[in-house]
Structure 1
Amino acid sequence: MLKKERAEFIRQRLSELYPNPPIPLAHQDAYTLLVAVLLSAQCTDERVNQVTPELFTLADNARDMSQVPLEQVYDIIRPCGLAPQKSKAIVKLSQILTADYGGEVPEDMAALETLPGVGHKTASVVMSQAFGHSAFPVDTHIHRLAQRWGLSNGKSVAQTEKDLKRLFPKESWNALHLQIIYYGREFCPARSCNGLTCDICKTCFPNRKHPVKNRKA
C-alpha cells in the first residue's frame, strides 16, 4: 500500500469509527478551552477535566482570572503537574488578554503563540476547535501514530505536522486531529500495539514482523 493509499484508508476508517469526534477537554468558550489545553501539557485530559470545574467556578474569563491570586490558582491546578509554571502562565495570559485584547482570546495564530504557556500546538487547538480554522495540532499520540502508519519519519513534531498536512485534505484536519487521538488511546496505545496488532497497523503493514521504534517528540 502506497503512502497516499494508506492515508486515504486511515482517513476513511477513522471517519467510520469516530464520525463526530467530541473535544475531550470540557470547556465553554475559547478562553476556557485555551486554559484547559494549557493545563493538558504532560497531563491527561481526564485529570484536567477533574480540575477545571473548580477553577472555572472561581474564574471563567480573562478579566476575573487576572485578579485571582497566583497561589489560589496553583492550589487548584496542582494535580495537573507543572503547577508553578502553569499557574503563572494562566494568570499572566489572562492579564495580557484583559489589557491588550479586551478580555477576549485573539482569533490569530501568531498572537496566541505570544501568550505565556501557549505553544504552537495549544494555539493550533484553539484556532481549530474554538474558531473553526483548519489546523492539525500534533500531540504525542499523533506523533507516535504517524510514525507507526508510515506517514512521517518522526524527526520532529513540526515535521510530522507538515507531513500530515500534505497527505490529508485540509477540510479533514480538524476532525482527524481528534480521531487519531481517540484511536491511539482506544486501539493503538504506546505500550501494547507497537505497530503490530491494531486494525489500521495490520491493514497498512500486513507483513510487518517487528515492533516500530518511535522517535520521541
Structure 2
Amino acid sequence: MKKADVFEFYRRLAEANPHPETELEYRNPFTLVVAVALSAQATDASVNKATRALFAEVDTPDKMLALGEEGLKHHIKTIGLFNSKAKNVIALSRMLVDEHGGAVPADRAALERLPGVGRKTANVVMNVAFGQETFAVDTHIFRVGNRTGLAKGKTPLAVELTLDKVTPAPFRLHAHHWLILHGRYVCKARRPECWRCPVADLCAYTPKTPGPASA
C-alpha cells in the first residue's frame, strides 16, 4: 500500500471511531494483564462475562493469590483452557508480588517473562495501560494487514514490524485498536463486508464481496 494510501486508510478509520478502546473490561493494569491472558483462544465477550464478578472481588496480585487456583477456576470455568490459564494467572501473580512489589511492569521483556504472557499480551498491556505505541497482532490484525495490503507478513511478528514501520505518527497509539475492530466487525474472516467498508477503495482484496441485495 502506498504511503499516501496508508495515511488515508488510518484517517478514515479514525474518523469513524475517534476514540477506540479495548473491548476487554478491566480495572487497572493487573486486571488488564489477567483479562488479556484469559482472552487467548476466547472471545472478549466470554472473558468479560467471567471476569465481572472476579474483578469486583480480586483486583491485585495479592488478592489473586489469596483466592487461589481452585477459587479462580470457579470464576473462569466457562472460558476455554481455564485450567492452564488459572495456573498461569496464579503464577504470574506470584511473580508480580515477588519480583515487582505487586506492580505490573511497563517493560516488554519483564511482561513477557510472566507466565502465560506472550508478545501480543505484552503489547496490549504496554499500549492500553501505559500509553506506549505498540502493535498487538492477533488473528484479526494479521488478516487485515495481509488482506488489505497494509502490512503483509507470514508471521504475526512480521506483520507487527511492518505496521511499526508504515504507520504514521498521528495514528500509532490507537492503530491496533482500529485494526482489530475493523477485522472483528467489517473485514471478517469468512465473508468480509466490503460493501460497507470505509477503506474498500484502498484495499488490495479482490474480488470485493457484494452486498446482501446484489448477492
What TM-score, normalized to structure 2? 0.90
2-structure distance, mates of 1:16, 1:125: 22
Query: 2:157 maps to what in 1?
Result: 158
Using a 3 Å threshold, how does the CA distance of structure 1 residues 86 and 22 change in structure 2: closer, same or farther?
same
Using a 3 Å threshold, how does the CA distance of structure 1 residues 36 and 206 change in structure 2: closer, same or farther?
closer
Q: How does 1:51-70 map to 2 (within 5 A)?
A: 51-70=50-69
Q: 1:119 aligned to 2:105?
A: no
Using a 3 Å threshold, how does the CA distance of structure 1 residues 186 and 68 change in structure 2: closer, same or farther?
same
Using a 3 Å threshold, how does the CA distance of structure 1 residues 84 and 172 change in structure 2: closer, same or farther?
same
Using a 3 Å threshold, how does the CA distance of structure 1 residues 210 and 111 change in structure 2: closer, same or farther?
same
What TM-score, normalized to structure 1? 0.89
Deviations 1:75-113 (A, max 9, x none): 211211111111001111101111111111111111000
Using a 3 Å threshold, how does the CA distance of structure 1 residues 17 and 50 change in structure 2: closer, same or farther?
same
Q: 1:199 aligned to 2:206?
A: no
Q: 1:168 aligned to 2:172?
A: no
Query: 2:95 maps to what in 1?
Result: 96
Deviations 1:111-154 (A, max 9, x none): 00000000001001111110111111111111000011112333
* Equivalences, count: 209
Matching residue within 175, 184, 209 for 2:207: 209
1-structure distance, mates of 2:199, 2:29: 35
1-structure distance, mates of 2:91, 2:205: 52
2-structure distance, mates of 1:66, 1:170: 41
RMSD: 1.9
**What amino acid does structure 2 have at the position aligned with 1:100?**
E
Contact 2:62 2:93 (8 Å CA) reproduced: yes
**SS at the partner of 2:66?**
coil
Worse-superposed segment, 168-177 or 127-136: 168-177
Among the aligned pairs, what percent are the same residue?
Answer: 38
2-structure distance, mates of 1:59, 1:71: 14
Shift of 1:171: 4.9
Q: Which runs of 5+ in 2 are unaligned?
A: 210-215
1-structure distance, mates of 2:126, 2:205: 39
Shift of 1:20: 0.5
**SS at the partner of 2:13?**
helix
Using a 3 Å threshold, how does the CA distance of structure 1 residues 207 and 40 change in structure 2: closer, same or farther?
closer
Q: Which runs of 5+ in 1 are unaligned?
A: 212-217
Query: 2:148 maps to what in 1?
Result: 149
